[in-house]
């Protein structure tokens, strides 16, 4: 979230699209009800299903699953055509005036530089035009035909209300009603918040859907302001934390990135990440990259990371490609993986195409499960009848199942969706012999280290030299680790403006990432969290909930990254002279000498606004980007592409060629493409989702939740029910080209038959929560049905839109 | 149950007068269920089971979201879902938390023949004391909302206590505390009515012209009230009674159950009453209902059980000084 | 009337008569009957925690048996929302409100288990044996398949044949330590629940 949960109460309009906050985040949704009750806010829900969020909305607009870019592109066109934009904001804080290279082009659904064999782009033309001074050329009049404003206007000219209705199935009047309410937040004193979740991310064009939403918000001046923002509602309690801490194939901590194998030289590796400003007088905060990186290397390899060895650059593995989950399971099913560890993760249930997953796990030599619960993955080899029809005798994988503690049995911090790091305390011991994950990882590592010390082996250096200062080596404590990722001075740290002034003595915890140095004198395991455990102790454990301004800014409750800032980009809540656009919901303001207010300024704290530094300090441009340059795989502006399993044969927005039906730049493995189904055989569109009564695949193990939704069901609309003679309570079989599930049918008015390019299409709703272990009635894993194809950038699987057929049993 | 505890004002089938001096001077309590804020998440169902140490059966899906599908001895509250297409053609998903309404004039208590099995406290809560329950089921008949359920396990009647144990120590009921969206609110009945008025004004500004408060006078008002978008059509909400009354027969039964007449009248009355138990009030035709009402009106309501010096009946918990 | 069996009739009238007879006698039982249910949290130990499900991160209060004295084994018996928490303000959703049954779920694992190749059942294994065997398997695989240099001579120091999926609900401290350990081994096949 750019903002945070409580701030939603400040919204004038709430758009829930690509998510279902009332069901997936009920307690956060309360701030929507607060905005409605006390701020007269209007709630819009755009969703293929009439959800429980929709049940309390002022306006509900149905949409065919997977067509959100068409809808949002239509909104962008509406805002531009009807002049519902925040002029001062877009002029000063975005790239609308930037001029783009002459050879950049977009034709028939493809951008310049496409290579159909590789299914990827040469992105070199997707860039600005630079002047002799090295800065981007601009046209403040916005009249230059290649300025971003004009390009964007041309790009979205095709996204008319009629086109929206044709692609999305949303009735034109409903769409225009939504546009009008959204457009009402263009004035500087009004704000709209956008709440989204996996309804946007789980598409082959998920990242671009989110970008389209962000572009809409920028046009309205709704980013950086109280009650505004792009708010990703994260689905698990520490998914934010694990992402911040970089537990992904290509990341280090704090969104630092691992080197690619071509990056053999350390200096070039850093230079490629320490972006130089693209406009005069801009901050471009990533210029500090090296300080963050060196402090991380000191936290991981201590004295073994020296200037001479480029801070142990050699110890870091180098990527030839990303090894995300889908790539890993592809390798597994090809028999190229031997070992796998699942720590609190149930991939048999959570990954697409269960049959492929089962085949992959069966090819492993060993599988290690660390979990508090008996997951399906841990028993993938066991026969559970038609719910898991395998032959154990044919599966040679050794499986270890290690019992772990749960939240109630450990101390530590979790990061919520609003970026708050909150400490929690243990209330009881884990059951039986269960251990904490720290004890397990600690002991596993110390055993490996001992083996490498005694026996040697392949490149033992990064293992035997890993900085391991913990009092009990096989069981590092949460406090030790929290202090380490926050960071401390290894030598005295001095003020750069006055080198005789020591601001932090050796051994002291650091107060924030501004104190990090690139000379090895500081250590911080995650620069973004620097200061969370500062010189004054554990700020994550703070519990002062006072809100002096009444707009929900509880700065002394826990700790929010970065730098305890609660609303990101909050400089953009003020006009260029530093006055709040909306004085009633003031976050910060320039008082003549400094930026002060209800939040920690997202800006240089003493920067005079007259000097023209932009509010988006993490961007080299200093401003927000409508034109995405080469940052995303599919192109600089979001363009609608159909899901990989689509009821359509051609993309109504680019009908000229077949290759633009679906995302032309998404990675698709050969076996997965072969497993796609065709509309002739699988005529219904399906989408998977959570119900509010359950959490993922956990709460089927929880009696109280099993009582609330005891048995697997699918939802079908009245149209489909009539066609197949299905009544509520009947059992149905739902098949895709990858497998089938059987479940009870819930027939409802809440799922409509929508026209897709004129042809009526039924949507089948498939809640995910059942499986073959637990207290709820045994069921099929919903991912038996889903296709393996990821978003072109994030590789998040397309769980939200695929083809099935329904039969009455 | 000592009559002094929590200031009992009424007690089923009991002649002893409770102490009558203390009153609920700070007001009675009420739960307000705002169906217009309710998202049907069932947190209230869980909080209720969790706090009260109840676990219902893990059932099946019968083709709807309602689960468990009905109130039981272990599910003292359930969500009822109804899909409604309004005259404008827009879909509304009306979701109502069902459970004991804590009537000011509780039909269950009036119908109950077991001394002390049902009590009403001065704060407005109507509570069941299962140790005194004989499992006859008259409370179900007496209830205009069809709430109490007899357990197959111990043959006793159960229903929402409004968490009398929490309220007794100054806490809100468990369901109220849990409710994520503030659809459940708890406070004095007066405050709840004020809160409801604000909600109704907001709803009217959003086009719900018939929004209103459900606090049915036929049972003397309730300590569980609803805010409805369509207060003119309560039946849209999974059959919420538009104008609930205590069954005429319960009034009749109470009226004629004067101790002296009891033995002589038992056969006739009980036979009629049993017919009602079996068939339910929907079968009673209007003539019967009118006759019943007449009978009720004939006997002054305040002293319905007609026990001389029966203080509880004269202390209406809703009457604030 | 016709529906009433004699047995039912007697049951109903009998019960009523019994009740009413007590009233007749003016008997009001007071002794040995329960008061309002005892408030069960009176002296329970309260611990503050965070709900482990979604990322609203509601504050919860866990109530446990015993006062943490030496001889008392804490056991959590009730959980409700933390009213001081700025986001949830005491509220909980149906998952959070049911946390007590997660902690005490019959599906909780309580001892390390091992499934041998081709077997159809679990067998118990000690921690020592399990971790020893896992460390050995990992080292064997790493030593056999570690790539120090590509055929083109690029230094890459990666291990691709073993991978890991990290949790979505483990703490920062667990995540941080896990990342540190995994990268020190050169593992690239590394992901977490954020992917899906």
Question: What is the average pLDDT across C9-14?
Answer: 37
Q: How far apart are CA B44 and CA B175, in angstroms?
A: 4
CB-based contact A482:A413 (threshold 8 Å) = yes
What are the residues whose beta carbons fall under 8 Å from the beta carbon of A804, sequence distance 6 or more?
A677, A682, A684, A685, A686, A734, A735, A736, A764, A785
Q: Measured between CB atoms, does C55 come within 8 Å of chain A? A: yes
Element (H, E) at A664: none
Token readout for A176 is 């225009």
CA A596, distance to chain mean position in Å, is: 30
- In this structure, the strands spanning C75-81 and A106-107 are unpaired
Match 């320490």 to its residue by tokens: A274
Q: Chain A partners of B42 at a C-beta cutoff of 8 Å?
A: 692-693, 708
Q: Chain A partners of C148 at a C-beta cutoff of 8 Å?
A: 458-459
Element (H, E) at C144: helix C127-145
pLDDT over 50 at A152, yes or no: yes
pLDDT over 70 at B258, yes or no: no
pLDDT interval class at A273 (50, 70, 90) = very high
pLDDT over 90 at B278, yes or no: no
Q: Specify the CATH number of the domain A666-808.
A: 2.40.40.20
Please tell me whether residue A754 adopts helix, strand or coil conformation.
strand
Q: Measured between CB atoms, does A731 come within 8 Å of chain B? A: no
Residue B314's alpha-carbon distances to A197, A586, B61, in angstroms, are 57, 56, 47
Q: Measured between CB atoms, does C90 come within 8 Å of chain A? A: no
Is A403 within 8 Å of C111 when comparing Cβ atoms? yes
Query: What's the confidence (pLDDT) of residue A360?
Result: 98
Is B46 within 8 Å of A55 when comparing Cβ atoms? no
Match 């009047």 to its residue by tokens: A173
- Backbone torsions φ then ψ of B97, nearest 5 degrees: -80, 120
CA A715, distance to chain mean position in Å, is: 27
pLDDT above 90 covers a percentage of chain B that reads 69
Q: Which tens digits make up the pLDDT trace of B63-122?
A: 999 999 999 999 999 999 999 999 999 999 999 999 999 999 999 999 999 999 999 999
Question: What is the average pLDDT across A574-590?
Answer: 98
- Examine residue B83 and state whether it is found in any structural domain, yes or no: no
Domain count, chain B: 1
Is A707 within 8 Å of B49 when comparing Cβ atoms? yes
Element (H, E) at A93: helix A87-93
Question: What is the average pLDDT across A356-372?
Answer: 98
- Examine residue B259 and state whether it is found in any structural domain, yes or no: yes
pLDDT interval class at B254 (50, 70, 90) = low
Number of other CB atoms surrounding residue A110 within 10 Å? 21
Query: What's the confidence (pLDDT) of residue B4?
Result: 55
Is C79 within 8 Å of B50 when comparing Cβ atoms? yes
Beta-bridged to residue A809, according to DSSP, are none
Q: What is the mean pLDDT of chain B?
A: 83
- Examine residue C7 and state whether it is found in any structural domain, yes or no: no
Q: Measured between CB atoms, does A58 come within 8 Å of chain B? A: yes
Q: How far apart are CA A144 and CA A148, in angstroms?
A: 9
pLDDT over 70 at C83, yes or no: yes
Residue B284's alpha-carbon distances to B107, B141, B247, in angstroms, are 17, 13, 9
Q: Chain C partners of A485 at a C-beta cutoff of 8 Å?
A: 172-173, 176
pLDDT over 80 at C12, yes or no: no
Predicted model pTM = 0.93
Residue from A13, A33, A727 whose CB has the most chain B CBs within 10 Å, to mutate = A33
Q: What is the mean pLDDT of chain C?
A: 87
What are the residues whose beta carbons fall under 8 Å from the beta carbon of A447, sequence distance 6 or more?
C131, C132, C135
pLDDT interval class at C63 (50, 70, 90) = very high
Helix A354-362 vs helix A325-333: crossing angle, to nearest 10: 60
Least confident of A582-596, A646-660, B213-227, B295-309: B295-309
- Beta-strand (E) ranges in C17-154? 45-50, 59-65, 75-81, 113-115, 123-124, 147-149
Q: How far apart are CA B298 and CA B296, in angstroms?
A: 5
Q: Which tens digits make up the pLDDT trace of A715-732?
A: 999 999 999 999 999 999
| pLDDT greater at residue B3 or residue A126 | A126
pLDDT over 70 at A566, yes or no: yes
Q: Chain B partners of A13 at a C-beta cutoff of 8 Å?
A: none
CB-based contact A302:A462 (threshold 8 Å) = no
Residue A383's alpha-carbon distances to A379, A387, A390, C117, C119, in angstroms, are 8, 8, 5, 15, 11
Query: What's the confidence (pLDDT) of residue B2?
Result: 54
Q: Which tens digits make up the pLDDT trace of B194-222?
A: 999 999 999 999 999 999 999 999 999 99
Query: What's the confidence (pLDDT) of residue C9?
Result: 35
> CA angle at residue A606 from A604 to A607, to 5 degrees?
65
Of A226, A143, A169, which Cα lies nearest the Cα of A46? Answer: A169
Helix A172-183 vs helix A161-168: crossing angle, to nearest 10: 120
C-alpha distance from B87 to closest chain C C-alpha (Å): 33
Q: How far apart are CA C19 and CA C28, in angstroms?
A: 11
Q: Chain B partners of A707 at a C-beta cutoff of 8 Å?
A: 49, 55-59, 67-68, 75
CA A555, distance to chain mean position in Å, is: 25
Residues within 8 A of A (CB atoms), B 142-181 only: 180-181
* Range of the structural domain that residue C185 is part of: 146-195
Token readout for C22 is 């007590």
pLDDT interval class at C22 (50, 70, 90) = very low
Query: What's the confidence (pLDDT) of residue C106?
Result: 98
Q: How far apart are CA A660 and CA A642, in angstroms?
A: 8
pLDDT over 70 at B5, yes or no: no
Please tell me whether residue B74 adopts helix, strand or coil conformation.
coil
- Examine residue C8 and state whether it is found in any structural domain, yes or no: no
- Examine residue C157 and state whether it is found in any structural domain, yes or no: yes
Question: What is the average pLDDT across A398-402?
Answer: 98
Q: Which tens digits make up the pLDDT trace of A412-456?
A: 999 999 999 999 999 999 999 999 999 999 999 999 999 999 999
Q: How far apart are CA A276 and CA A286, in angstroms?
A: 8
Question: What is the average pLDDT across A638-667?
Answer: 98
Size of interface A-B (CB pairs under 8 A): 121
Domain count, chain C: 2
Q: Which tens digits make up the pLDDT trace of A741-750?
A: 999 999 999 9
- The partner residue sitting opposite A56, judged by closest CB among B37, B56, B90, is B37
CB-based contact A85:A93 (threshold 8 Å) = no
pLDDT interval class at A260 (50, 70, 90) = very high
pLDDT interval class at B7 (50, 70, 90) = confident
Q: Chain C partners of B15 at a C-beta cutoff of 8 Å?
A: 23, 26, 28
CB-based contact A395:A366 (threshold 8 Å) = no
- Backbone torsions φ then ψ of A674, nearest 5 degrees: -65, -25
CB-based contact A716:A765 (threshold 8 Å) = yes
Report chain B's terminal Cα–Cα distance, integer Å. Answer: 27
Of B39, B83, B43, B41, which Cα lies nearest the Cα of B64? Answer: B83
CB-based contact C26:B16 (threshold 8 Å) = yes
Report chain C's terminal Cα–Cα distance, integer Å. Answer: 64
CB-based contact A587:A225 (threshold 8 Å) = yes
* Ranges in chain A annotated CATH 2.40.40.20: 666-808
Is A712 within 8 Å of B181 when comparing Cβ atoms? no
- Examine residue C112 and state whether it is found in any structural domain, yes or no: no
pLDDT over 90 at A507, yes or no: yes
Domain harbouring C83, CATH code? 3.30.200.210
Q: How far apart are CA A763 and CA A54, in angstroms?
A: 17
Token readout for A391 is 């032959």
- Examine residue C164 and state whether it is found in any structural domain, yes or no: yes
Token readout for C162 is 């073993």
pLDDT interval class at B26 (50, 70, 90) = confident
Query: What's the confidence (pLDDT) of residue B16?
Result: 83
């Amino acid at each position: 979230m750019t903002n945070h949960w409580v701030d939603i109460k400040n919204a004038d309009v709430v758009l829930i699209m690509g998510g279902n906050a009332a069901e997936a985040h009920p307690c956060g949704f309360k701030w929507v009800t607060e905005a409605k009750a006390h701020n007269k806010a209007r709630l819009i829900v755009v969703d293929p299903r009439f959800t429980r969020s929709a049940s309390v909305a002022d306006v509900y607009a149905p949409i065919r699953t997977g067509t959100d870019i068409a809808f949002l592109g239509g909104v962008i066109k509406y805002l531009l055509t009807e002049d519902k934009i925040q002029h001062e904001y877009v002029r000063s804080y975005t790239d609308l005036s930037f001029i783009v290279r002459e050879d950049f082009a977009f034709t028939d659904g493809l951008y310049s530089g496409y290579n159909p064999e590789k299914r990827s782009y040469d992105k070199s033309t997707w860039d600005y035009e630079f002047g002799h001074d090295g800065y981007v050329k601009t046209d403040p009049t916005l009249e230059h035909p290649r300025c971003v404003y004009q390009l964007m206007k041309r790009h979205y000219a095709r996204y008319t209300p009629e086109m929206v209705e044709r692609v999305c199935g949303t009735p034109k009047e409903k769409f225009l009603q939504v546009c009008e309410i959204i457009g009402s937040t263009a004035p500087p004193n009004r704000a709209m918040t956008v709440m989204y979740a996996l309804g946007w991310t789980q598409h082959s064009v998920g990242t671009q859907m989110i970008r389209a939403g962000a572009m809409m918000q920028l046009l309205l001046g709704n980013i950086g302001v109280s009650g505004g923002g792009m708010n990703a509602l994260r689905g698990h309690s520490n998914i934010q934390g694990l992402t911040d801490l970089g537990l992904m194939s290509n990341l280090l901590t704090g969104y630092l990135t691992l080197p690619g194998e071509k990056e053999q030289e350390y200096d070039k590796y850093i230079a490629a990440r320490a972006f130089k400003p693209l406009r005069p007088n801009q901050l471009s905060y990533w210029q500090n990259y090296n300080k963050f990186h060196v402090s991380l290397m000191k936290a991981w390899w201590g004295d073994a990371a020296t200037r001479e060895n480029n801070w142990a650059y050699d110890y870091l593995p180098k990527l030839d490609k990303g090894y995300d989950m889908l790539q890993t399971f592809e390798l597994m099913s090809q028999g190229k993986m031997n070992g796998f560890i699942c720590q609190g993760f149930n991939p048999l249930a959570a990954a697409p195409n269960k049959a492929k997953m089962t085949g992959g796990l069966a090819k492993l030599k060993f599988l290690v499960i660390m979990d508090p619960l008996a997951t399906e993955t841990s028993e993938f080899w066991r026969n559970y009848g038609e719910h898991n029809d395998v032959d154990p005798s044919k599966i040679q994988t050794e499986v270890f199942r290690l019992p772990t503690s749960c939240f109630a049995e450990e101390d530590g911090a979790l990061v919520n969706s609003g970026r708050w790091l909150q400490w929690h305390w243990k209330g009881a011991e884990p059951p039986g012999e269960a251990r904490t994950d720290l004890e397990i990882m600690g002991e596993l590592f110390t055993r490996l280290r001992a083996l490498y010390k005694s026996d040697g082996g392949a490149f033992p250096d990064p293992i035997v030299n890993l900085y391991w200062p913990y009092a009990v080596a096989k069981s590092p404590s949460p406090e030790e680790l929290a202090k380490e990722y926050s960071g401390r001075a290894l030598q005295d740290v001095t003020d750069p403006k006055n080198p005789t002034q020591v601001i932090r003595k050796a051994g002291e915890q650091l107060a924030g990432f501004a104190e990090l140095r690139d000379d090895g004198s500081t250590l911080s395991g995650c620069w973004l969290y620097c200061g969370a455990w500062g010189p004054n102790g554990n700020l994550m454990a703070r519990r002062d909930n006072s809100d002096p301004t009444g707009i929900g800014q509880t700065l002394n409750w826990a700790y929010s990254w970065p730098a305890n800032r609660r609303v990101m980009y909050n400089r953009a809540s003020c006009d260029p002279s530093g006055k709040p656009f909306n004085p009633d919901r003031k976050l910060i303001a320039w008082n003549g000498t400094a930026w002060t207010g209800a939040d920690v300024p997202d800006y240089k704290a003493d920067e005079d606004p007259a000097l023209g530094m932009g509010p988006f300090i993490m961007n080299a441009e200093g401003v927000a980007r409508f034109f995405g340059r080469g940052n995303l795989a599919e192109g600089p502006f979001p363009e609608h592409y159909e899901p990989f399993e689509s009821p359509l044969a051609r993309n109504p927005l680019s009908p000229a060629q077949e290759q633009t039906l679906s995302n032309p730049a998404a990675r698709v493995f050969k076996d997965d493409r072969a497993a796609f189904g065709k509309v002739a055989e699988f005529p219904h569109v399906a989408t998977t989702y959570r119900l509010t009564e359950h959490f993922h695949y956990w709460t089927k193990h929880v009696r109280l939740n099993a009582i609330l939704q005891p048995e697997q069901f699918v939802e079908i609309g009245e149209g489909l029910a009539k066609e197949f003679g299905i009544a509520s309570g009947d059992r149905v079989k739902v098949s895709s080209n990858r497998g089938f599930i059987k479940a009870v049918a819930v027939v409802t008015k809440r799922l409509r038959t929508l026209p897709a390019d004129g042809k009526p299409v039924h949507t089948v709703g498939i809640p995910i929560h059942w499986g073959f272990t637990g207290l709820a009635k045994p069921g099929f894993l919903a991912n038996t049905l889903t296709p393996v194809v990821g978003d072109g950038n994030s590789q998040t699987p397309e769980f939200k839109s695929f083809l099935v057929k329904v039969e009455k049993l | 149950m000592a009559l002094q505890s929590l200031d009992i004002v009424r007690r089923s089938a009991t002649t002893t007068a409770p102490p009558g001096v203390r009153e609920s001077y700070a007001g009675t309590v009420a739960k307000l269920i705002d169906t217009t804020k309710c998202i049907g998440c069932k947190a209230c169902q869980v909080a209720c089971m969790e706090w009260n140490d109840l676990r219902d059966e893990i059932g099946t899906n019968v083709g709807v979201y309602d689960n468990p599908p009905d109130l039981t001895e272990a599910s003292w509250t359930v969500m009822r879902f109804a899909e409604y297409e309004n005259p404008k053609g827009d879909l509304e998903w009306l979701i109502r938390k069902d459970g004991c309404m804590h009537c000011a004039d509780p039909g269950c208590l009036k119908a109950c023949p077991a001394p002390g099995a049902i009590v009403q406290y001065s704060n407005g809560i109507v509570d069941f004391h299962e140790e005194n329950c004989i499992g006859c089921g008259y409370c179900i008949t007496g209830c205009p909302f069809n709430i109490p359920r007899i357990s197959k396990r111990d043959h006793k009647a159960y229903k929402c206590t409004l968490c009398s144990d929490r309220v007794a120590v100054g806490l809100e009921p468990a369901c109220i505390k849990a409710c994520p969206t503030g659809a459940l609110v708890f406070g004095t009945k007066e405050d709840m009515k004020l809160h409801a008025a604000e909600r109704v004004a907001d709803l009217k500004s959003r086009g719900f012209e018939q929004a209103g408060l459900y606090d049915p006078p036929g049972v003397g008002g309730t300590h569980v009230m609803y805010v409805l978008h369509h207060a003119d059509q309560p039946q849209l909400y999974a059959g919420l009674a538009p104008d609930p009354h205590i069954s005429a027969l319960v009034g009749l039964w109470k009226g004629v159950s004067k101790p002296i007449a009891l033995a002589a009248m038992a056969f006739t009355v009980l036979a009629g009453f049993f017919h009602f138990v079996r068939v339910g009030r929907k079968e009673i035709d209007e003539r019967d209902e009118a006759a019943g009402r007449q009978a009720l009106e004939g006997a002054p309501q305040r002293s319905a059980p007609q026990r001389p010096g029966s203080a509880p009946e004269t202390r209406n918990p809703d009457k604030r000084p | 009337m016709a529906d009433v069996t004699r047995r039912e009739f007697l049951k109903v009238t009998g019960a009523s008569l019994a009740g009413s007879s007590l009233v007749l006698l003016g008997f009001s039982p007071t002794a040995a009957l329960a008061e309002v249910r005892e408030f069960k949290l009176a002296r329970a130990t309260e611990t503050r925690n965070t709900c482990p499900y979604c990322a609203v991160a509601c504050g919860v209060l866990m109530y446990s048996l015993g006062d943490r004295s030496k001889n008392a084994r804490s056991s959590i018996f009730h959980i409700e929302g933390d009213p001081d928490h700025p986001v949830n303000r005491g509220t909980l959703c149906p998952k959070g409100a049911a946390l007590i049954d997660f902690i005490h779920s019959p599906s909780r694992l309580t001892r390390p288990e091992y499934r041998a190749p081709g077997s159809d059942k679990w067998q118990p294994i000690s921690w020592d044996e399990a971790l020893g065997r896992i460390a050995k398997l990992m080292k064997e695989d790493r030593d056999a398949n570690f790539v120090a240099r590509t055929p083109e001579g690029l230094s890459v120091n990666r291990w691709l044949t073993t991978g890991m999926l990290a949790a979505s609900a483990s703490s920062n401290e667990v995540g941080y330590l896990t990342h540190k350990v995994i990268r020190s081994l050169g593992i690239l096949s590394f992901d977490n629940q954020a992917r899906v």
